[in-house]
């Protein structure tokens, strides 16, 4: 099994890097464009360079959705078992998550460094927002940058495997169920956070649980990362159960 895992991993990663390259390229161009525009227009406007984590989340989520089945098909044609194919894919996604986060963090760091004490210019991200209290004047240390990268990587990896989950669900479900799921997911996604919040107010135990979890996450980025990784592991387990007996067919 080891013999084929590395070539499969390298092949998958190279493939992902192409899409990632486009994504990162676009982001950087957008950043440059807006920076130039704002600096030309003067001090009146505040520019915030954030939301890169969100963009990365969406990118990796879509990657998980779009590519999962196609990769499994291709790897089967190459004579790889499902377990090797899926392992290679997960490894590639993990590396990709870290790489994309690192590149974007480096770009953000550069902007921060050069913007210095121009108060109208803010470059930061989710990690900074949550754990460093969104202090706009802050220039992150290297250690803090590393934390930010890992934070983003864990979050985006979670979203990637979630994307895979949806893709696999649609693969295994019959058409009727697929439509039902497809309609209900966005609805649920909107309802669940609100419901949890409201539910937590219903009963002291729930309320304490809710506060404990939020507190746990708030205490340190590492806690949140751990939760992400645990949840990812669970989803990966479910994904494996979904794909291990799925029928591989050519796309119509």
Partner 1 sequence: MAIELRGVSKRFGGTQALNDVTMTFGENRIYGLLGNNGAGKSTLMNILSSRMYPDAGSVTVDGIPADTDAALGLLFLQGEKNLFPDTMKVRQAFDAVKLFYPEFDRVGAEDLAKQFGLNLKQKITNLSTGYGSIFQLVLGLCVNTPYLLLDEPVLGLDAQHRDLFYKLLLRKYADNPCTIVISTHLIAEVAGIIEHTVIIREGCILKDAPTEELTADVRTITGPTALLDGYLDGRTVLSESVIGGLKTACVQGTSGQPLPAGLELGRVNLQDYFISLMNEEDRK
* Positions that interact with partner 1 (CB under 8 A): 1, 3-4, 7-8, 11, 70, 73-74, 76-82, 84, 245, 247-251
Quote the least distance from Cβ 177 to partner 1, whole Å.
Answer: 15
Task: List alpha helices for the chain, DSSP H.
Answer: 2-41, 52-77, 82-115, 126-131, 142-172, 175-202, 204-219, 221-243
Which CB atom, from 46 or from 83, has the smaller least distance to partner 1? 83
Please name every residue paired with 121 in a beta bridge, in sequence order, or none if there are none: 47
Quote the least distance from Cβ 170 to partner 1, whole Å.
Answer: 18
Which CB atom, from 45 or from 76, has the smaller least distance to partner 1? 76
Quote the least distance from Cβ 25 to partner 1, whole Å.
Answer: 19
Which CB atom, from 153 or from 242, has the smaller least distance to partner 1? 242
DSSP string, 80-97: --HHHHHHHHHHHHHHHH
**Cα 3 from chain centre:** 29
Which CB atom, from 70 or from 135, has the smaller least distance to partner 1? 70
Closest Cα to residue 31, out of 119, 103, 127?
A: 103
Quote the least distance from Cβ 99 to partner 1, whole Å.
Answer: 22
DSSP class of 244: T
Exposure string for 212-226, b = 16+ CB within 10 A, e = fewer: eeeeebeeebeebbe
Burial of 209 (0-12, 13-18, 19+ CB in 10 A): middle
Distance CA 72, CA 206 (A): 41
Which CB atom, from 4 or from 136, has the smaller least distance to partner 1? 4
Quote the least distance from Cβ 202 to partner 1, whole Å.
Answer: 45
């Amino acid at each position: 099994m080891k013999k084929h895992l590395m070539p499969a991993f390298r092949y998958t990663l190279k493939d992902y890097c192409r899409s990632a390259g486009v994504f990162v390229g676009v982001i950087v161009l957008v950043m440059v464009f807006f920076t130039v525009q704002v600096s030309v227009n003067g001090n009146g406007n505040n520019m915030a360079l954030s939301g890169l984590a969100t963009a990365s989340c969406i990118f990796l989520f879509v990657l998980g959705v779009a590519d999962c089945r196609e990769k499994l098909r291709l790897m089967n044609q190459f004579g790889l078992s499902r377990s090797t194919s899926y392992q290679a894919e997960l490894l590639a996604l993990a590396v990709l998550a870290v790489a994309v986060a690192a590149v974007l963090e480096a770009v953000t760091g550069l902007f921060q460094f050069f913007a210095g004490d121009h108060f109208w210019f803010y470059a930061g991200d989710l990690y900074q927002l949550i754990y460093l209290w969104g202090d706009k004047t802050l220039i992150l240390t290297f250690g803090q940058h590393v934390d930010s990268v890992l934070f983003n990587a864990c979050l985006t990896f979670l979203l990637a495997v979630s994307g895979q989950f949806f893709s696999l669900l649609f693969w295994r479900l019959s058409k009727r169920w697929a439509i039902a799921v497809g309609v209900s997911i966005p609805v649920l996604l909107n309802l669940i956070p609100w419901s949890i919040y409201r539910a937590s107010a219903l009963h002291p135990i729930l309320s304490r649980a809710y506060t404990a979890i939020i507190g746990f996450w708030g205490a340190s980025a590492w806690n949140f990362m751990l939760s992400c990784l645990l949840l990812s592991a669970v989803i990966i387990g479910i994904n494996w159960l979904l794909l291990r007996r799925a029928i591989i067919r050519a796309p119509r």
